[in-house]
Structure 1
């Protein structure tokens, strides 16, 4: 027994050390976001050796964390403004700069900040404060030395920093009592990604003792949720590799469970929002526009997924603290009406990775893939997927080099070949060229073997007034007065968050032409889907200029003089989404994948009957796929009409700071239950 106990204690020490390292990573990311102007904090730079610039996605992620906590702190200070005494107790504070920021802003009238963390972290922070003139000068009384009788390494009239294990209630009471914490005064308890690193029994105990010991208090917690979808799996694996397991996720996997957790542990009121709800509901549009303008950004899917996997929670004790609770957004999210039938997904043993590619059928059994990024970097090689008697194969076409091109379109042409339009290499470098891609026509025998498959690339010079540069747009072939046109709609570029313009390219004359389009135009958007339909197009979904997913279905029908926009009323309305793919089969629009903001699972397939306006949402059964199937930044193609299925190609994304996920192989979705 003693040996087992010793090993257990050693493992616990290793886990605690790993958790402490998350503080070092976090403060570097916070300092990066502050340096890029996401929020104002002049003190974080003093807690890092060097301010290093993080990726825009990480900067945004730490901005919304800072913004949510700041919102709650400000609300608490506002509600308690007339109280003679008030306190902030920060659990697992790490190298947080809250005290210094509030004091510099003059926001600490009649308020005292208490910070606790592991003794080693506290000693390091105390040493930084002691050796830094700026930090030391922000203390409201001389920095105390650390004799044995001192309540902590740093103790002044308005700031106390103490080393204590918050899992030990008795030690907490003793240490904070010695530091001068008033258990009856209004208190804000702050926990930023702290409790989840504890085994759940201990984090539950902390929530319970806080409710019991502090009868006038507001608990503010920022943590992770949704462990079971693809992003959640990647997130859990990341922290597991760091020896910092996220324990609370399994028992409290969503905002409802977290709310009930606090109510069950003695708290009187509780409001819990995921970060999408907080950002769109409690951050002004002006502030969101400011954030959008700070640096080039084109990782919307990863941003919304990150926000859907974190929450901000406020729980209250006492009538005064009820006023400080978060408010629910005014518009609830739409609930998907799931079919009882799940569509089966199976992997195809053909390695195929890529993000931001484009695809199209070039002839029976041949799919052309262009552009995108691969694990080795940007500039994926053009490929042809061949389906033969023995299954699918991939052939690289290095001679058909399109350069670095992501989020472009490739559209099959009526006379053969395909047209590549738009795209970008970076959010500051759109691709302006238009390329015609044609394939040689090998004999059936040679095609089966993959011999003599040749792809030719021709740069087109088109006359007329071309569209502004764009990516994340759509393109489809439409018919007008007996002629074929490439119809281009929406997208975004380096100056516009979303575009809502329409353009027509005459395919026979290679001339950009104006064609009248009547009716109210669809809202500006990008990352939507458009499919050719009865001479015009059908459009679905996308991300609006305001950063909100759309769920409308709109037709552009041919008229004698041009085209006319018509909105299709859907019953029930599909859940808004973007970064999906869509295909027309008869009178049905088949939409697969994408990103939505609803917490109930991830998008699967929605089948829309264009004629009747009926829609059905189908979940995907991915139990036979040996990796998390992440359906955005991917391609899809509709296969056999007799046995309808979807071919899924590539996809995945950068999962915040947890690493990039790649769908490893091709996959198929059996559509027969949905198309009967």
Structure 2
């Protein structure tokens, strides 16, 4: 683990510019998928600059965005449902949340009452941009109650939603912990006694392995003996083959490196992200597998009708280099409740749909 002074010296905000740009790319990709009918998200347009001028993304990107979203939505919704079945509200903590709209989608959906608190962390430039967008948009702001801004508009608090500026590359004892126990708040906003889900969507791959391990371990320690903890990671892996090498080189041209991918060179290595921290279970699926086993034939036919996709082999190649990994950590000393062990992505039964239909 590196020292905090080194972290602050090496990680200037200017150096983070290319990483912040990846959030803009993802938001535009989601906007494209929404405009074309792949996804439903009435809020993303408020978090993209000049949304009406953004051109559509290629079909390959739209399909990939759809598969990624479908998988993570299922994991989050499943977590909310299991928490409700246990008679508890749950907490969601999104790391490097960027322009994500998940809080608003949950808060306007059937599971809104199952959510106790939703917390987002990101670099200061991104949180400033997001607070400005929230204040500007009636559709976003009307979903928040008792809103207060702090630290020059970089921090936002409301009854259920909190947005914090934090550099996740700095040790969590200095970057995360002080924010959650801020003197301006009435006690810690993250309860150690409620089921809590951590989201890492294309975040850990950009930071050093030591930093990501320290971050996960901090949450493991926080919930060690109190409540169930879940975590979801979405990112690229297997970058040692020819396709992966090209991906890495293309990102280097943009000033983006992927130090967090090095410990996970194969699909089989992905669950170690969580098992090394004592998680009860951990599993993974590539986006390629998710598309082939979790999406119904009818839904795939609907998707295929939206755009012509000729490069099915290229799509499979790209999707095979991205994965969703999830882990479940039960409180120490407790036997696994069967309902929590069932949480995860479950392939559909007899989901036979030939690629020729695509």
User: Which of 228, 231, 234 is the matching residue for 1:219?
Assistant: 231
- Secondary structure of 1:283's counterpart equals coil
Aligned to 2:280: 268
Counterpart for residue 103 of structure 1: 107
Aligned positions of 1:199-210 closer than 5 A? 199-210=208-219
For 2:296, which of 284, 302, 309 is the aligned residue? 284
Whole-Å separation in 2 of the counterparts to 1:87 and 1:74: 12
User: What does 1:437-516 align with in structure 2 at a 5 Å threshold?
Assistant: none
Residues 1:119 and 2:124 are matched in the alignment = yes
CA distance 1:54–1:174, shift in 2 (3 Å): same
CA contact (8 A) 2:279 2:327 kept: yes
Q: CA deviation at 1:11?
A: 6.0
Structure-2 change in CA distance of 1:12 and 1:288 (3 Å): same
Matched residue, 1:590: none
Structure 1 pair 33/7, CA: closer, same or farther in 2 (3 Å)?
A: closer
Pairwise CA distance, 1:328: 6.1
Does 2:94 correspond to 1:86?
Answer: no
TM superposition shift of 1:181:
1.1
- Whether the 8 Å CA contact 1:90–1:116 is kept in 2: the answer is yes
Name which of 327, 351, 361 aligns with 2:346.
327
Superposed, 1:349-428 pairs within 5 Å as: none
On the 8 A contact 1:114/1:161 being kept in 2, the answer is yes
User: Any idea what SS the aligned residue of 2:326 has?
Assistant: strand
| One of 153, 156, 161 as aligned partner of 1:154 | 156
Q: Secondary structure at the match of 1:109?
A: helix
Greater C-alpha Rg = 1
Q: CA deviation at 1:330?
A: 7.1
Shift of 1:8: 8.7
- Partners of 1:57 and 1:124 in 2: CA distance: 28
Aligned to 1:463: none
- Residue 333 of structure 2 corresponds to none
Mapped pair 1:252 → 2:261: no
Q: Distance in 1 between matches of 2:108 and 2:98?
A: 19
In the TM superposition, what whole-angstrom CA distance separates every residue of 1:542-599 from its partner, at most 9, and x where no partner exists?
Answer: x64355xxxxxxxxxxxxxxxxxxxxxxxxxxxxxxxxxxxxxxxxxxxxxxxxxxxx
Q: Does 1:135 align with 2:140?
A: yes
Q: CA deviation at 1:26?
A: 1.1
Equivalent in the alignment of 1:480: none
Mapped to 1, the partners of 2:300 and 2:7 lie a distance apart of: 50
Corresponding residue for 1:60?
63
Normalised to the residue count of structure 2, the TM-score between the two structures is 0.85
CA contact (8 A) 1:129 1:135 kept: yes
Residue number in structure 2 paired with 1:622:
none
1:73-117 deviation digits (Å, cap 9, x = unpaired):
111111111333210100000010001111121322141211111
1:10 Cα deviation from its structure 2 partner: 5.1
Distance between the aligned counterparts of 2:222 and 2:133, measured in 1? Answer: 32
After TM superposition, the structure 1 = structure 2 runs for residues 526-537 of structure 1, keeping only pairs within 5 Å, are: none
**Distance (Å, rounded) in 2 between the aligned partners of 1:49 and 1:242:** 21
RMSD in angstroms over aligned alpha carbons? 2.4
Count of paired positions: 330
SS of 1:81's partner is helix
Q: Which runs of 5+ in 1 are unaligned?
A: 332-523, 525-542, 548-676
Q: Separation in 2 of the partners of 1:137 and 1:253?
A: 44
Higher helix share: 2
Provide the C-alpha distance between the structure 1 equivalents of 2:257 and 2:292, rounded to a whole number of angstroms.
Answer: 30
Q: Is the 8 A contact 1:225 1:254 kept in 2?
A: yes
Q: 1:223 touches 1:311 (CA, 8 Å); kept in 2?
A: yes
Cα–Cα, structure 1 residues 544 and 11, in superposed 2: closer, same or farther, change >3 Å? Answer: closer
- Secondary structure at 2:112 match in 1: coil
* Structure 1 residues 37 and 146: alpha-carbon distance in aligned structure 2, compared to 1, 3 A threshold: same
Q: Cα gap change, 1:314/1:6 in structure 2, threshold over 3 Å: closer, same or farther?
A: closer
The residue number in structure 2 matching 1:371 is none
| Partner Cα distance (2:9, 2:190) in 1 | 31
Match of 1:589 in 2: none
Aligned CA distance change for structure 1 residues 122 and 7 (closer, same or farther; 3 Å):
closer
Instruction: Point out the structure with the larger strand share.
Output: 1
Residues 271, 327 of structure 1: 8 Å contact kept: no
| Structure 2 residue runs without a partner (length 5+) | 331-335
Superposed CA deviations along residues 47-85 of structure 1, whole A, max 9, x for unmatched, are 112332111111111111111111111111111113332
CA contact (8 A) 2:234 2:323 kept: yes
- Judge conservation of contact 1:31–1:44 (CA < 8 Å) in 2: yes
Are 1:47 and 1:128, in contact at CA under 8 Å, matched by a contact in 2? Answer: yes
Rounded Cα–Cα distance in structure 2 between residues aligned with 1:7 and 1:203: 13
Q: CA deviation at 1:147?
A: 5.9
Looking at structure 2, the residues matched to 202 and 11 of structure 1 have their Cα atoms a distance apart, in angstroms, of: 12
Secondary structure of 2:176's counterpart equals: helix
